[in-house]
Amino acid sequence: MRSNQLYARGDKSKKGNLNIRLVYDDHTYECYVEIANPLGQQEGKQAPCLRFSVYVPEKYEQEIIDVIMGEQVGVNSKGKPIIEYQPYTFEIKRKNGKYYIHLIYEEEIYGRELTCDEPIQAERIAGIDININRIAVSIVSKQGNFLKSKVFYCHELEYAKANKRNNLIGETVRDMYN
C-alpha cells in the first residue's frame, strides 16, 4: 500500500510465475492477470485466483503471448507434451487510480562471447556497456592492450517519445561506429 506496487519474481519451474500469472485466452483473444488469493483457500485445495482483464498494445501482443504460453520441447514416456516456460517477473504499479503492469523477461541475445582459449580473428575488439542514459565503449588490440575508450551520453532516452528515441539510438550507434 505504501509503495503502490506489487512485485513477484518468476521461476522457470513454476510456469513463469507462481503467484501472479499473465494468461492468454484462445477463445476470447484476451490477456488476463491471475493473482493467487490465499485468503480464499480451503484446506487441502489450491488457492483460488483473482482474474482481471488486461489491455495489451497490439504491437507487443505476439511477443508477450510467446513469453507466457511456453514452448513444447518434447514428449514424456506417456506421450504427453513437455512444455518449457520462460520465467518472467511481474510488477503491478498503481498510479493516479490506474493499474499498470510491467512484465520483465529475458530476451535472446544474438552474437556470442569469446572463450578464453578461442583465437581472436580481428585486429581490434570492442567492449560495450549499455545503460539507459549512456553507452561506454572500450577498444582493445588483438593482444588485449587498451587502445581507446569513450562514453556516449544520451540523457534524452529516459523521457523521449518512441520515434525520437529510435532516432537518438540510431545517431548514437552511428557515432559509436565512426
Instruction: Answer with the residue of higher pLDDT: 39 or 138.
Output: 138
Model confidence, pTM: 0.53
Query: In the predicted model, is pLDDT for residue 19 greater than 80?
Result: no
The gap from C-alpha 59 to its chain's centroid, in whole angstroms, comes to 15
| 96, three cell numbers | 493516479
| 177, three cell numbers | 561506429
DSSP string, 47-65: PPEEEEEE---HHHHHHHH
pLDDT-derived band of residue 151, with 50, 70 and 90 as boundaries? very high
| 145, three cell numbers | 592492450
Interval 31-50: pLDDT, tens: 888 887 777 777 777 777 88
Section 75-86 average pLDDT:
85
Distance CA 134, CA 158 (A): 10
Q: Which residues pair with 149 in a beta bridge?
A: 138
